[in-house]
Amino acid sequence: MKMPDQSLPASSPAVDPPAEAAEPPAPPTVSFAEQLSEFEQTHSHRSEGDGKQLQGAVVSMDAEFVYLDIGYKTEGVLPRSAFANRAEDLHTGSVFAVSVTGRNPEGYYELSLLRVAQPTDWTSLERAFAQKTPVAGMVTGVVKGGLGVDLGVRAFLPASRSGTRDAAEMEQLVGQQIACRITKLDTLEEDVVVDRRSVLEEEALALQQSRVSALHEGAIVQGTVRSFAPYGAFIDLGGIDGLLHISDMAWSRVSSAEDILSLGQSIELKVLSVAPETRRISLGLKQLQPEPWTSAAERYQAGRRVTGTVTRLLDFGAFVELEPGIEGLIHVSEMSWVKKVRKPSDLLKPGDNVEAMILAVNTEEKRISLGLKQALGDPWNDVPQNFPVGAVVQGQVTRLMKFGAFVQLAEGVEGLLHISEITAERRIHHPQDVLRVGETVKAQIVGLDVEKRQMRLSIKQLAPSGLSEYLQEHRPGDLVSGRVVSIPGADLTAEPAIVELGEGVRARCFLDSGPAPTEEAGSAAADLSRLTSLLSARWKGGATFQAKPEPLAPGQIRSFRILKLDIESQSIELQLA
């Protein structure tokens, strides 16, 4: 139908909805002047403000409306339906941009979250359609497939674009003013279709941007736990979400967000960072509490005993929580004096309460080194008093090595029994030829180094030998017989001859030895008397005196005189008799 002189159709004719919507026939066309007069009369209460944008602050809410202070004498109102989640996330003091679209019968200014145009004729409708500018309209009723909306002409709002979830919410829009966008405008057919959903989405986005912009790093905000993720929890801050990472929930280690929070819980948080362009907000819960490491140096010093709970076991050690937010590490090398710990689980498990000694504290790197074995006391501190050199001890064989055996004498104290000190009776190739792990043996301490934690033991020193008995039975000057085992080379003074005096008894004989020793006068006189008698007997018997003795040779059995006996070094020196 052709419009005369750009006249605005009367508000009473309806734009036909889709074919399936049954609408009453449009009344006869009236003049533009009549239509404009009727439009101004029915919409005069919406002309105030003319779409001017203002800053509105929430002052109160009721079941249907949100009331805002817009700087006028009278407050403005927005229906709860204009907000996501029906404004459940709003709180007093929230500020955002609004436009005045008119006044309601109660005298409150009607508002919109977008800059909304107030159509006054077809030209303004065409301009709003071309520029995709939202316009204000009044919902007149529910029709088939959607809602009827009064824009000065009747328009159709499809249910799918109404921004409602069900028929009950659509019914609540009847009689309310809404902001919508014209998606179809046919002046000839007087067919106008509008979309409210896209406007609501834009309003929600604008509200989010406004709220994000109002946040700043360091601000304290109130939020509600909305959902959980493996890495943290999402917090609803009133229409916008912030992320509370699991590492920012507590100063102590948190395994799962559900261990700290619950769905729907209201909590106070600190804004750590805000990215307005991506609307990402990072939140912190532990930042509202003092960091325990700032004063850790006052409570933890090297040498102090502490107690804690084992929280984690790794290959190299165990972490122990001393207090929420402060952990110390017990390295595997600091776990036991007694045995070599290959992995922490050999001694500890998560949840164990342990006492340890603080070995070192580094507050800058937030590290505390702990010792488990130090808390038990170092058993080597008392070793010099309890295990002096020369003492005879008894212990259990703990390990057999190729070079010897380790014998445990006390908790944390072991001595080495070298293979050469195991037996003097025969030569052995491996300690297992004589000893077994777990066997109890008696030995003598022959060496001690406390700083290196080393102790040398000997079993053969305790066993009586033929040499020991020989040393006890003889004195210097005694004449003895022996078999020559070996002789030196050309230089007779460089090396001694080795003489076997009995089983296991060997002595050294220097061939250039001087006269017989005279250690005791009585002994020397007796020897001289014996020698005189011997010479006299030989002369009387007609024996011939041999000036030069027969040279030594291996295998000879000859007579020797003992020059020196040394019980401590277990050695004997001889002179050829």
Q: Which tokens belong to 364?
A: 């800058």
pLDDT (tens digit per residue) in 114-163: 666 667 677 888 888 988 888 888 898 999 999 999 888 889 999 999 88
Report the distance separating Cα 60 and Cα 209, nearest Å. Answer: 22
* Of the residues 257, 288, 319, the one at which a domain ends: 288
Residues 357 and 273 in one domain: no
* Of the residues 165, 183, 203, the one at which a domain ends: 203
Residues 324 and 433 in one domain: no
State the total domains in the chain: 5
Q: What is the pLDDT of residue 17?
A: 45
* Of the residues 458, 481, 498, the one at which a domain ends: 458
pLDDT (tens digit per residue) in 355-401: 999 999 988 888 999 998 888 777 888 888 889 988 899 999 988 99
pLDDT category at 464 given cuts 50, 70, 90 is: low
Residues 234 and 368 in one domain: no
Instruction: Please enumerate in sequence order all residues whose Cβ is within 8 A of that of 531, keeping only pairs 6 or more positions apart, or say none.
Output: none
Q: What is the pLDDT of residue 105?
A: 81
20-34, 186-200, 260-274, 420-434: segment of lowest average pLDDT: 20-34
pLDDT (tens digit per residue) in 229-250: 999 999 988 778 889 999 889 8
Q: Of 270, 272, 253, 262, whose CA–CA distance to 227 is shortest?
A: 262
Q: Residue 351: inside a domain, yes or no?
A: yes
Other CB atoms closer than 10 Å to residue 4's CB: what's the count? 9
Residues 85 and 193 in one domain: yes
Residues 162 and 138 in one domain: yes
Q: Residue 78: inside a domain, yes or no?
A: yes
Q: What is the pLDDT of residue 549?
A: 63
Q: Percent of the chain, pLDDT > 70? A: 81
Report the distance separating Cα 498 and Cα 484, nearest Å. Answer: 6
pLDDT higher than 60, residue 16? no
Mean pLDDT across the stretch 409-433?
Answer: 85
Q: Residue 295: inside a domain, yes or no?
A: no
Residues 16 and 158 in one domain: yes
Report the distance separating Cα 532 and Cα 540, nearest Å. Answer: 12
Mean pLDDT across the stretch 201-216?
Answer: 78
Mean pLDDT across the stretch 525-532?
Answer: 48
Q: What is the pLDDT of residue 128?
A: 87
State residue 148 phi and psi, 5-degree precision: -90, 135
Residues 14 and 123 in one domain: yes
Report the distance separating Cα 30 and Cα 18, nearest Å. Answer: 25
57-61, 279-283, 314-318, 494-498: segment of lowest average pLDDT: 494-498
How far the first Cα of the chain sits from its last, in Å, is: 157
Report the distance separating Cα 250 and Cα 284, nearest Å. Answer: 9
Range(s) of the domain holding residue 242? 215-288
537 vs 68, more confident: 68
Residues 170 and 107 in one domain: yes
Report the distance separating Cα 557 and Cα 555, nearest Å. Answer: 7
Q: Residue 209: inside a domain, yes or no?
A: no
Report the distance separating Cα 430 and Cα 81, nearest Å. Answer: 92
Residues 61 and 163 in one domain: yes
Q: Of 409, 479, 470, 476, whose CA–CA distance to 444 is shortest?
A: 409
pLDDT higher than 90, residue 416? yes
CB-CB contact of 483 with 549 (8 Å)? no
Q: Residue 330: inside a domain, yes or no?
A: yes
458 vs 279, more confident: 458
CB-CB contact of 55 with 29 (8 Å)? no
Residues 475 and 563 in one domain: yes
Q: Residue 333: inside a domain, yes or no?
A: yes
Chain CA centroid to CA 304, Å: 24
Q: Percent of the chain, pLDDT > 90? A: 19
Q: Residue 498: inside a domain, yes or no?
A: yes
Q: Of 47, 69, 49, whose CA–CA distance to 58 is shortest?
A: 69
CB-CB contact of 149 with 194 (8 Å)? yes
Q: Residue 296: inside a domain, yes or no?
A: no
Q: What is the pLDDT of residue 457?
A: 92
pLDDT (tens digit per residue) in 44-87: 444 444 456 788 899 999 888 899 999 888 899 988 877 766 77
Residues 22 and 91 in one domain: yes
Mean pLDDT across the stretch 185-203?
Answer: 86
36 vs 69, more confident: 69
What length does the chain have?
577
Secondary structure of residue 29 in the 3-state scheme: coil
**Which residue do the tokens 């037996």 mark?**
423
The strand pairing partners of 243, in sequence order, are 234, 282
CATH number for the domain spanning 241: value is 2.40.50.140
214-218, 310-314, 370-374, 388-392: segment of lowest average pLDDT: 214-218
Buried b (16+ CB within 10 A) or exposed e, 394-412: ebebeebeeebbbbbbeeb
Q: What is the pLDDT of residue 406?
A: 93
Instruction: Please enumerate in sequence order all residues whose Cβ is within 8 A of that of 299, keeping only pairs 6 or more positions apart, or say none.
Output: none
pLDDT higher than 70, residue 440? yes
**Which residue do the tokens 């990215």 mark?**
275
Residues 81 and 171 in one domain: yes
